[in-house]
Amino acid sequence: MTPRDTLPVVRARDVTMTYGDIDVLHGVDLDIHHGEVFALLGPNGAGKTTTVEILEGFRRRSAGEVSVLGTDPERGDDAWRGRIGLVLQSWRDHRRWQVGELLTHFATYYVDPRDPAGLLDLVGLTDQAAQRVDRLSGGQRRRLDVALGIVGRPELLFLDEPTTGFDPEARHDFHVLVERLARDEGVTVLLTTHDLVEAERLADRIAMLVGGRIRACGTPAELARRAAARAEVRWTADDGTPRRERTEDPSRLVWELHRLADSPIPDLEVRRPTLEDTYLHMVNQEAAGADGAAHEEVPAA
């Protein structure tokens, strides 16, 4: 690992954004590291799009410090932009181009692009190479968006709701692709999604942006352990009756069940708090007017 790789790829400190008299971001802090898949979650209106646009250099922040690939995005030049890949939530340009021609054309903008034919194969669009963009299905168009986003071998890839319109098989293939980019090629990925299962599968760390503030940040497992919801223990009693109990200490309850029964417990199952529990807890706190911490980094277990 080079010294550059030890520095955060994305670093934001006390970033605020105000539109007129409306405060959208309230002191956002972020660190995203080399080769990390980082998910930014939050309800509509939480400030996700504003945050990402500031990091991409498309929007000027009101205050705070930002460094992306060692450069303030507000001063990023063409060389800096060439190191970044974007997969936007909705993009409908170049509809009359053929798929293969469009990807080949985009490849000419980069010094060391991926081979367009190989890239089409990677995203599952080889059979659509001669097809016009406006004839693609929604899922196929998203695959093309991904191909256009990574054709330049970006060091940092922004993925905004990337699997919208994907069927389960296409979503699985896309997840494998993202994991390959991060693990094998060291691409840093910033993902925004409403799919909590997707975030839990892909992300090394997750930040929850609620009400313009980062309410929590950590690994999916760390965040799940913070959920206010208690774990649920399910089992079948001696008389065959299904039983369930919620508890903050499922290990103790299971131990007590085994001690009392002195035998295996039929149908024993422990359902621990999930990432969804944590997310809904944070959103409900905000809706209830809870103050919360501005940025609560979850310590590693």
SS (H, E, C) 9-34: CEEEEEEEEEECCEEEEEEEEEEECC
Average pLDDT for residues 198-211, to the nearest whole number?
A: 92
Based on the domain organization, do 186 and 67 belong to the same domain?
Answer: yes
pLDDT value of residue 292: 43
Burial 21-44 (b: 16+ CB within 10 A, else e): eeebbbbbbbbbbbbbbbbbbbbe
Q: Do 197 and 79 belong together in one domain?
A: yes
Q: Please write the tens of the pLDDT for every residue from 24-81.
A: 999 999 999 999 999 999 888 889 999 999 999 999 999 999 999 999 999 999 999 9
DSSP state of 230: P
74 and 18 together in one domain? yes
Asked if 103 and 116 touch (Cβ cutoff 8 Å), the reply is yes
Q: Are the beta carbons of 177 and 123 closer than 8 angstroms?
A: yes
Give the Cα separation of 126 and 119 in Å (integer). 9
Q: 210 and 287: one domain? A: yes
CATH classification at residue 207:
3.40.50.300
On whether both 286 and 299 belong to a single domain, the answer is yes
Tokens encoding 146? 């991904």
Q: Is 206 helix (H, G, I), strand (E, B) or coil?
A: strand
pLDDT on residue 91: 61
How distant, in Å, are the alpha carbons of 250, 265, 266 from that of 247? 6, 17, 19
Residues 116 and 250 in one domain: no
73 in the same domain as 28: yes
**Per-residue pLDDT tens digits for 110-163:** 989 999 999 999 888 999 999 999 998 877 888 888 899 999 999 999 998 888
Judged by DSSP in three states, 164 sits in coil
Based on the structure, what is the number of domains in the chain? 3
pLDDT of residue 25: 95
CA atoms 124, 126, 129, 131: torsion sign: negative
Percent of the chain with pLDDT over 70: 89
Q: Are residues 191 and 76 in the same domain?
A: yes
User: What ranges in 249-296 are assigned the alpha helix state H?
Assistant: 250-261, 275-287
User: Which pLDDT band holds residue 297 (cuts at 50, 70, 90)?
Assistant: very low
Regarding whether 249 and 107 lie in a shared domain, the answer is no
- Indicate if 42 and 95 belong to the same structural domain: no
Where in the sequence is the domain holding 121, given as residue range(s)?
A: 90-153
Residue 248 has, within 13 A of its CA and on its CB side, a CA count of: 3
